[in-house]
Amino acid sequence: MTLRARAETFLLLMTVIWGSTFVLTKFILESASPFVYVAIRFTIASILFATLFYRKLRVISKNALIKGFILGVLLFSGFVLQTVGMKFTTASKSAFITGLMVVFTPIFQFIIEHKAPKQGNIIGVVFVAIGLYLLTSPQGSEFNIGDALTIVCAVLFSIYTVYIGIYGKIHDPAHLSFVQFVVTAVFATLAIPFLETARLNISSHFLLNLAYLAIMPTVVALYIMAKYQKYTTPTRSAIIYSMEPPIAAFFAFWIIGEQIGLSGVVGGVLILFGIIVSELSDVIFQRKFTA
E-assigned strands of the chain?
Answer: none
Chain centre to alpha carbon of residue 260 = 21
Give the count of domains, the chain. 1
- The pLDDT tens digits for 264-283 are 778 778 877 887 777 666 65
Cα 154 from Cα 238, distance rounded (Å): 11
Chain centre to alpha carbon of residue 182 = 18
Domain of residue 114: give its range: 3-290
The helices-and-strands tally (H runs, E runs) of the chain is 15, 0
Angle of helix 244-256 relative to helix 3-19, nearest 10 degrees, comes to: 30
Residues 173 and 227 sit within 8 Å (Cβ to Cβ): yes
- The pLDDT tens digits for 3-29 are 888 888 998 898 899 888 899 999 999
Residues 34 and 196 sit within 8 Å (Cβ to Cβ): yes
Residue 200 phi, psi dihedral angles, 5° rounding: -155, 115
pTM metric for this prediction: 0.84
Number of Cα atoms under 13 Å in the Cβ half of residue 183: 20
**Residues found in the chain:** 291
Q: Residue 29's closest CA among 113, 76, 86?
A: 86
Query: What does DSSP assign to residue 89?
Result: S
pLDDT tens, residue order, the chain (291 aa): 788 888 889 988 988 998 888 999 999 999 999 999 999 999 999 999 999 889 889 889 999 999 999 999 999 999 999 999 999 888 888 888 888 887 788 889 889 988 777 777 788 888 888 887 776 655 556 678 998 999 999 999 999 999 998 998 899 999 999 999 999 999 999 999 999 999 999 999 999 999 999 899 888 888 888 888 888 877 777 778 778 888 888 888 888 887 767 777 787 788 778 877 776 666 555 555 444
Q: Residue 56's closest CA among 177, 224, 185?
A: 177
Cα 26 from Cα 157, distance rounded (Å): 20
Q: Residue 134's closest CA among 263, 5, 3?
A: 263
Strand partners, 32: 200
Strand partners, 200: 32
Q: What is the pLDDT of residue 70?
A: 97
Residues near 192 by beta carbon (within 8 Å), at least 6 away in sequence: 33, 35, 36, 39, 198
Cα 26 from Cα 28, distance rounded (Å): 5
Residues near 9 by beta carbon (within 8 Å), at least 6 away in sequence: 1
In three-state form (DSSP H/G/I as H, E/B as E, the rest C), the secondary structure along 98-136 is HCCHHHHHHHHHHHHHCCCCCHHHHHHHHHHHHHHHHHH
